[in-house]
Amino acid sequence: MAPSVLLLLPLLPVLVPGLGAAPPVCDRDPAWLWCRSPDIAAGKAPSPCAHRSPPPAAPVELSLFYESLCPACRMFLVRQLFTAWLLLPPDVLSITLVPYGNAQERNESGKWEFRCQHGPEECLGNMIETCLMHEAKNFSTYFPVIFCLESGSSVTKNLAACLQVYAPQLDGSRIAACVGGDTGAALMHRNAQLTEALDPPHQYVPWVVVNGKHTDELQAQAEASLLGLICSLYQVGSRWERGSNKMDGSGCKQEAPVAAGGGGGAGPGPPLPEPPPYVSWRRPP
Ligand SMILES: *[C@@H]1O[C@H](CO)[C@@H](O)[C@H](O)[C@H]1NC(C)=O
Ligand SMILES: *[C@@H]1O[C@H](CO)[C@@H](O)[C@H](O)[C@H]1NC(C)=O
């Protein structure tokens, strides 16, 4: 096993300080109730389990269009997306990963050939992750493996080690067969089609689409605090919160130290802080 992968394990508690702590309030309760008020978040209010009848809101849907070797993509995936996914319950956030980005494809006498912004190794990384998703099917199975690849020393050389740590039940040889075969090419062509279908077309990577929408503001919010963005969108979209006339997003501050405002009411919250100086990779002209 590559030592670089082992080094990741101690990293997890650093990324997610709350991991391993006692479950807040009551473990059958959807987390959107924790966000409702600081008292509930702190466990001081009457148990939210007593009134858990309201139906949950639809999950926030996030699609990430990225490239396996682009530094800003790796930073977003590792620091924002993976952390948000770990902290939020599964019914709050639904994620689609599309590794392709600024790659280009060509039909070479009936076979798809791909060229990637960061060269053949990036194409291989995109292909490994695409085939991994295809073989694993289950997001909870493949996302930790992709996190392991993207946060490690090499995106393309650590698959066996990452599988061993995070998904030992997966068969690495099936993934390898997909990577080198027609299945991989067909899946990558699909990624190309999904990327080319973006409206507006992507201008850089990572490119974030939230609930079917991309705007510069959403992108900036996602890069500054994805958890804060998801939390505020999820509450605003909640049928229960809309039905009651009290919309209090302030609890999200308790839940997520990095969250920005949350913003009560139906309108957008207060302005979010400036995003960190991400270096996005522009699409070549
Ligand atoms: C790719 O090229 C081959 C011939 O070179 C052609 O038969 C096939 O229809 C093309 N496929 C697409 C999707 O354009
Ligand atoms: C995916 O995997 C998780 C964790 O192993 C499991 O709890 C969940 O039921 C699985 N989902 C599906 C659709 O198989």
Q: What is the pLDDT of residue 90?
A: 87
Q: What is the pLDDT of residue 61?
A: 97
Non-local CB neighbours of 39 within 8 Å, separated by 6+ positions: 45
Contact 81, 95 (CB under 8 A): yes
Q: What is the pLDDT of residue 259?
A: 33
Distance 176 CA to ligand 1 centre (A): 25
Q: What is the pLDDT of residue 34?
A: 53
The atom of ligand 1 lying closest to the CA of 107 is: 1
Least Cα distance to 84 among 246, 257, 285, 213 occurs for 257
Distance 194 CA to ligand 1 centre (A): 19
277 lines ligand 1 (CB under 6 A): no
Using CB atoms within 10 Å of the CB of residue 119, give its burial: 0 to 12 exposed, 13 to 18 middle, 19+ buried: exposed
- Mean pLDDT, the chain cut into blocks of 10 residues (285 residues total): 45 42 43 54 51 68 98 98 95 97 96 97 98 98 98 98 98 98 98 98 98 98 97 71 36 32 35 40 51
Q: What is the pLDDT of residue 30?
A: 53
267 lines ligand 1 (CB under 6 A): no
Using CB atoms within 10 Å of the CB of residue 107, give its burial: 0 to 12 exposed, 13 to 18 middle, 19+ buried: exposed
A 10 A CB-CB count for 6 gives 12
Distance 26 CA to ligand 1 centre (A): 57
Least Cα distance to 268 among 235, 226, 227, 219 occurs for 235
Strands 104-108 and 111-115: antiparallel
Shortest-distance Cα residue to atom 14 of ligand 2: 138
173 lines ligand 1 (CB under 6 A): no
Contact 188, 100 (CB under 8 A): yes
169 lines ligand 1 (CB under 6 A): no
Q: What is the pLDDT of residue 57?
A: 79
Shortest-distance Cα residue to atom 6 of ligand 1: 110
What is the spatial distance between Cα 283 and Cα 126, in angstroms, rounded to a whole number? 17
The atom of ligand 2 lying closest to the CA of 138 is: 1
State whether residue 115 is helix, strand or coil. Answer: strand
What is the spatial distance between Cα 76 and Cα 81, in angstroms, rounded to a whole number? 6
Shortest-distance Cα residue to atom 6 of ligand 2: 140
pLDDT tens digits for 106-147? 999 999 999 999 999 999 999 999 999 999 999 999 999 999
111 lines ligand 1 (CB under 6 A): no
Distance 189 CA to ligand 1 centre (A): 13
Q: Residue 36 to residues 64, 193, 281: CA-CA distances in angstroms?
A: 28, 40, 38
